[in-house]
A and B are shown apart, each in its own frame.
Chain A
Amino acid sequence: MSGADNVVWLGTPPFPEAARAALADTRLRANLRRATGTIRDRRLAVTAELDDWEDLRDTAAAVKRRTLRHLDRHLLRLEETVTAAGGTVHWAADAAEANAIVTRLVQATGESEIVKVKSMTTQEIGLNEALAEAGIRAYETDLAELIVQLDGDRPSHILVPAIHRGRSEIREIFRRQMGKWGRPAPEGLTDDPRDLAEAARLHLREKFLRAKVAVSGANFAAADTGTVVVVESEGNGRMCLTLPETLITVMGIEKVLPSFADLDVFLRLLPRSSTGERMNPYTSLWTGVTEGDGPQDFHLVLLDNGRTATLADEVGRQALSCIRCSACLNVCPVYERTGGHAYGSVYPGPIGAVLTPQLVGVENAASLPFASTLCGACYDACPVKIDIPEVLVHLRAKAVEAKRRDRLLPTPEAFAMKAAGVVLSSPRRLAAVQRLAALGARLVARDGWIGVLPGPFARWSGTRDTPAPARESLRAWWRRTREAGRTTTEGKGR
């Protein structure tokens, strides 16, 4: 199984098609609108409280950019310090390598089940599936992740994987599936959030107490101390990180920070950006192993999987600054209407649209950079100031270039763009086209509006009228009324 197969879900149609299906699901749209709206408002309220919010963003962005420029150095330092603290560091070039390492480590313990702290990175590499092939069962312990796992579903949001599910759906999933994975749901389970949380707690407690091995991701790792950090809000992470005997952490190489002191600014930015909380409920930090306390065997798997290639792109690399807060998803008008599945990728929403094509090669996710109106709301929300619109148009150019290379004949779009370019690079040709369009419009327009249009414009004209081109362009009006006898700027007319 290659990395690309997991970052991008095989068999998912291109974004416009997947989006159409999602849009037809009215319950999904209602769930999404409610959830993103709530988090969005909360985030705005708590970020407005801080006078130095913009300074924090600038600092965080600067730290991330600087770290990425010397990533090799910081990673080698991290390896040193983790090793010195009694941990073991493994390097994985791609998903297959990372999965093989983790599988081997679990097998060495003789265990056949593990508990997991929610982690995007292990989803990216398809770890649960790889472990299952080796006969090892992985239990997700984050509430939303549990819901997704029980239902055999896919996450739809970075932070709230089950954002697309309502309460009654969750109750049904618990009743139907919990028994197959362990302790069944209690009799008479209602869809009251407290009831649902209690059912999950009972179900998960069994697993925490039994598990000898845990797998986590990492939000940050400090190179100078070898400290790894996981931030979560339910306490399930704390259980996984302290109770088992063996802890295996899979971390994307971009998560390293030069020093422990750098955590300060990120731990202030992350909760406010992601859940709209001033502080997150659980922040777990561990440095190697400590005798008689916590896991006695600690492994850190450093994953590349397309990140070095991304780093090589000077515009695109800023996507590696991402701290996975999901603020960009919550403010994105496109995500709000389609949900995460339409992106066909582990990383949905605006960050997915720029990160996924870079991790897997733009030709393998060519519709994603176009899944945006470039409205810029994501850039304004991003705590580390990733200029997502800039990366989107950068990747669009790459997608177009890739198509140009792969095809003998230009696509209809490329042909149209070429033709438009020829017209738009000459005022004389443009004026001629304007005259023709005005003439044509007079034949089909009614009261200045045109109804249904042909070809690529058909979907546009299904819901909108199109104004007819004016009888006289501004250029023509100007010449007629203002330029009689004057030639000041004519010379440039060509």
Chain B
Amino acid sequence: MRIALFITCFNDMMFPRTGRAVTELLERLGHTVEFPQGQTCCGQMHFNTGYRPETLPMVRRFAEVFAGYDAVVTPSGSCAGMVRDHHRVVAAELGDSALTEAVERVVPTVYELSELLVDVLDVTDVGAHFPHRVTYHPTCHSLRMLRVGDRPLRLLRAVQGIDLVELPAAESCCGFGGTFALKNADVSNAMLADKMRHVLDTGAEYLCAGDNSCLTHIGGGLSRLRTGVGTMHLAEILASTEGNVR
């Protein structure tokens, strides 16, 4: 399958290792991965903060750059949710009918990583090996916008050597929320404190999630408190193998 990688602007700059992991993983499974160099951003930050006209060029670009692939994969639940739920809203409100059509064509090909693996490629055991104690945080957008359900957990359970432990109050929001963490920093901190307490309660070495933005927020807190607990994107755990443990 010819799969385009939408890395997202944030991962591109901050977590290229997640993009490399997705690439390795999909190639290991026998697929062709391409990285369209014209890609930039899904526009989520602008859209969610109320800057809709600023979102339009990004929506336009996305529909153009990612047209014509068998599938587009992104290692971010919230960016996948943005594309799926909101690109057509922006196109309808501010764009033209050609854009709306282009968006309608591309949206059904866009998948978050766990969806692509389980639903499209039909694999749950990706042949990964990761001998560590891990707990999984189902980020809000994966959970409630995309409804990925237990797909990430099924993938993780099939990883060799992993000690997967349940996160208490897993479904409660970590308090990131994009610009919310800046605009309502105090509430965000209070939510983060509870999430960190729950992570520490599990005794896990790594907190795993399908979105690096939530992981940056929780991981930044865990780092400040010098807890020694690391964060790792789902893609990186799935890309790990016996010979190449991350």
Contact = CB atoms under 8 A, between A and B. Distances in A.
B176 interface: yes
A418 interface: yes
A492 B37 contact: yes
Given A373-B140, A467-B219, A475 B35 contact: yes
Given A427-B39, A492-B65, A400 B50 contact: yes
Nearest to B225: A463
Given A393-B50, A396-B49, A488-B34, 13 more contacts: A19-B187, A334-B187, A334-B191, A373-B180, A374-B177, A374-B178, A377-B144, A377-B173, A459-B182, A463-B192, A474-B16, A474-B19, A494-B38
A470 interface: yes
Contact of B48 (A374, A380, A420, A463): A374
Interface stretch (A150-158, A206-214, A476-484): A476-484
27 contacts: A20-B186, A23-B186, A333-B173, A334-B191, A369-B50, A372-B180, A373-B140, A373-B177, A373-B180, A374-B177, A374-B180, A375-B140, A376-B141, A379-B144, A393-B48, A401-B50, A421-B46, A425-B40, A427-B38, A430-B9, A456-B182, A463-B221, A464-B192, A467-B219, A472-B16, A477-B16, A492-B38
Nearest to A491: B38
Interface in A322-373: 333-334, 337-338, 369-373
A465 B47 CA distance: 26
Contacts of B191: 333-334, 337, 373
Interface in A388-441: 393, 396-401, 413-414, 417-418, 420-421, 424-427, 430, 434, 437-438
A109 interface: no
A374 B140 contact: yes
Interface stretch (B56-64, B95-103, B121-129, B237-245): B56-64
Interface residues of A, number: 70
A478 B51 contact: no
B175 interface: yes
A488 B65 CA distance: 12
Interface in A229-246: none
Contact of B61 (A425, A437, A470, A475): A425
A143 B193 CA distance: 34
Nearest to A438: B13
Contacts of A493: 37-38
Contacts of A456: 182
B2 to A, nearest CB: 11
Contacts of B170: none
Nearest to B36: A489
B216 A434 contact: no
A371 B191 CA distance: 13
Interface residues of B, number: 68
Interface of A: 15-16, 19-20, 23, 29, 333-334, 337-338, 369-377, 379-380, 393, 396-401, 413-414, 417-418, 420-421, 424-427, 430, 434, 437-438, 449, 456-457, 459-460, 462-467, 469-470, 472-475, 477-479, 482-483, 488-490, 492-494
Contact of A400 (B11, B19, B49, B223): B49
Given A427-B40, A460-B181, A478-B35, A373 B220 contact: no
A489 B35 contact: yes
A312 B183 CA distance: 30
Contacts of B177: 372-375
A377 B140 CA distance: 8
Contacts of B37: 427, 475, 478-479, 483, 489-490, 492-493
A464 B176 CA distance: 11
A29 B65 CA distance: 48
A425 B52 CA distance: 14
Contacts of B50: 369, 393, 396-401
B186 A482 contact: no
B35 A373 contact: no
B39 A376 contact: no
B220 A467 contact: yes
Contacts of B65: 492
Interface in B175-230: 175-192, 216-217, 219-221, 223-224
A474 B172 contact: no
A430 B40 contact: yes
B9 A370 contact: no
Interface in B33-91: 34-41, 43, 45-52, 54, 57-58, 61, 64-65, 86
Contact of B46 (A369, A417, A490): A417
A323 to B, nearest CB: 21
B17 interface: yes
Contacts of A421: 46, 51, 54, 57-58
A483 B33 CA distance: 12
A417 B182 contact: no
Contacts of A460: 181-182, 185
Contacts of A478: 35, 37
A413 B183 CA distance: 10
Interface string B132-171: 0000000011011100000000000000000000000001
Contact of B41 (A337, A424, A465, A467): A424
A489 B38 contact: yes
Nearest to B65: A492
A370 B184 contact: yes
B236 to A, nearest CB: 13
Nearest to A449: B223
A69 B13 CA distance: 47
B12 interface: yes
Nearest to A396: B50
Given A19-B186, A375-B144, A427-B37, A333 B175 contact: yes
B182 A457 contact: yes
Contact of A376 (B17, B43, B144, B184): B144
B16 to A, nearest CB: 4
A466 B216 CA distance: 7
A469 B13 contact: yes
